Amino acid sequence: MRAVAYVANNDVTLLESGSTYFPALLAAIDAAATEILYETYIYAEDDQARAVTDALVRAARRGVKVRVLADWFGTGNRAACRLREAFAADCVHYRMFNPWFKRGTARSHRKIAVIDRALAFVGGINTNDDGLHDYAPHAPLPAPRWDFAVSVRGPLVDEIHREAQAQWLRAGHLPIVGRINLYRELRKPPPSQGDGPMRAGFVVRDNLRNRRTIMRAYLQAIGQSRKRVLMATPYFAPGRKFREALCRAAQRGVDVSLLIGVGEFRMQDAVASSFYPQLLAAGVRIVEYRKTQLHAKVAVVDHDWATVGSSNCDGLSLFVNQEANVVVRDAEFAATLARQVERGIADGVGVCMDDLRQLGWLRRCGHEMAYLLYRLTMRIFAIGYA
């Protein structure tokens, strides 16, 4: 099975952080004429989120069908319930994804908006203020959160719309016949491939047909890499196959650079650090981003493969959460994203073997214990994690 089904003749634009993303999103919502599908993991109660809410309400009041899906866990029960009350008063259709984990442990970590089936947004940017921490007490960040999304026009929007619509149906009380029909719809073959400019594909991760789709896309790209692999991720804790793919690429002469966010969760930092010796020994370059919260989930391979989305390189994103990424085969787009990642690397702090040797034995043991605990947890929640 192919990892990604590419569609030609798209226009995919990179959007860096909320300062670029939200103006484009709000303008699109205000211009909507028929339908808006909106998905987010965190829907905060700050000024930026209220601006999105106001735009969605304005759209609903002028007759646009607006559907909003927010993850219950990411948004928080109280905020999610208050959001339901606010939207109900203004004819905005609203659903929470998996409240109280009634459908297992999965979370909808996706960030998607589809406007009039003509324009789509996909990425890692939640509905919250770039200048504040994601979670309570929402203290100010030292610099705006660093993240990315893309806007998409062209044939790929149909695929994104179809998946967003299916997710909306899955989140509701869908009878068994409806679920069977939905499954049949999702089994339809992808659009035919083309050889035109700006080829792009939409890849999702779910717990049914697409359990390994995003990971397979990464592994295929890394396995075929010849010159470089640039990757930025807030949380680095992938399975064995992913780590070995990075090591093998570096060992055959590929320039492999990982930009990893640190400082948000101590346990996550310890787990990531437990992988450093193996990666550094293989020749992988590791840089820690400490300037502010790194929330970007992006990668560039060689000169023409790039991905932007919601999937982190950890067990939750690769094996548990509902995720969505856009993969682009285009040299100009890849070069643009590569420049941004390289800028982040320049702002980061490199890690070398000497740094690891200077760590005390107690701290090194702590890293290993953190990894063992993480691995045990993931084996419980994510069958197939190694």
- When pLDDT is cut at 50, 70 and 90, the band that residue 192 belongs to is very low
- Say if residue 265 is in the same domain as residue 133: no
- When pLDDT is cut at 50, 70 and 90, the band that residue 186 belongs to is low
Q: What is the residue range of 124's domain? A: 11-182
Kindly tell me the sign of the dihedral angle through the C-alpha atoms of 66, 67, 72, 74.
Answer: negative
- When pLDDT is cut at 50, 70 and 90, the band that residue 135 belongs to is confident
**Is residue 77 domain-resident?**
yes
Kindly tell me the sign of the dihedral angle through the C-alpha atoms of 330, 336, 339, 345.
Answer: negative
DSSP 200-235: EEEEEE-SSS-SSHHHHHHHHHHHT-SSEEEEEES-
Q: What is the pLDDT of residues 114-132, one digit of tens each?
A: 999 999 999 999 999 999 9
- Say if residue 245 is in the same domain as residue 301: yes
**Is residue 386 domain-resident?**
no
- Say if residue 169 is in the same domain as residue 248: no
Average pLDDT of the segment spanning 21-43: 98
On the question of pLDDT at 209 being above 90, the answer is no
Reading the block at residue 386, the tokens are 């190694």
Amino acid at residue number 163? E
On the question of pLDDT at 383 being above 70, the answer is no
> Which of 182, 215, 234 delimits the end of a domain?
182
**Is residue 240 domain-resident?**
yes
On the question of pLDDT at 384 being above 90, the answer is no
> Of the given ranges (8-22, 85-99, 201-215, 295-309), which has the lowest mean pLDDT?
201-215
On the question of pLDDT at 303 being above 80, the answer is yes
**Is residue 265 domain-resident?**
yes
pLDDT at site 1? 41
Average pLDDT of the segment spanning 324-336: 97
Average pLDDT of the segment spanning 297-326: 92
Q: What is the pLDDT of residues 74-125, one digit of tens each?
A: 999 999 999 999 999 889 999 999 999 888 888 999 999 999 999 999 999 9
- Say if residue 136 is in the same domain as residue 53: yes
- Say if residue 98 is in the same domain as residue 216: no
> Which of 152, 182, 212 delimits the end of a domain?
182
- Say if residue 178 is in the same domain as residue 210: no
- Say if residue 16 is in the same domain as residue 113: yes
**Is residue 365 domain-resident?**
yes
**Is residue 190 domain-resident?**
no
pLDDT at site 93? 96
CATH number of the domain within which 340 lies: 3.30.870.10
> Which of 182, 212, 237 delimits the end of a domain?
182
On the question of pLDDT at 163 being above 80, the answer is yes
> Of the given ranges (48-57, 151-160, 285-294, 364-373), which has the lowest mean pLDDT?
364-373
- When pLDDT is cut at 50, 70 and 90, the band that residue 263 belongs to is confident
**Separate counts of helices (H) and strands (E) for the chain:** 13, 17
For the chain, what is the domain count? 2
Q: What is the pTM of this model?
A: 0.91
**Is residue 210 domain-resident?**
yes
On the question of pLDDT at 175 being above 70, the answer is no
On the question of pLDDT at 356 being above 90, the answer is no
Nearest C-alpha neighbor of 182 from the set 201, 195, 164, 157: 164
- Say if residue 146 is in the same domain as residue 258: no
CA distance 166 to 183: 9
pLDDT at site 314? 86
Task: Write out the catalytic residue numbers.
Answer: 109, 111, 116, 295, 297, 302
pLDDT at site 206? 83
- Say if residue 67 is in the same domain as residue 208: no
Burial zone of 189 (CB within 10 Å; 0-12 exposed, 13-18 middle, 19+ buried): exposed
**Is residue 192 domain-resident?**
no
Residues of the chain above pLDDT 70, percent: 91
- Say if residue 217 is in the same domain as residue 150: no
Average pLDDT of the segment spanning 240-256: 96
- Say if residue 142 is in the same domain as residue 231: no
- Say if residue 135 is in the same domain as residue 262: no
Average pLDDT of the segment spanning 314-339: 92
Q: Which residues contact 94 (CB under 8 A, 6 or more apart)?
A: 67, 68, 69, 70, 83, 84, 87, 88
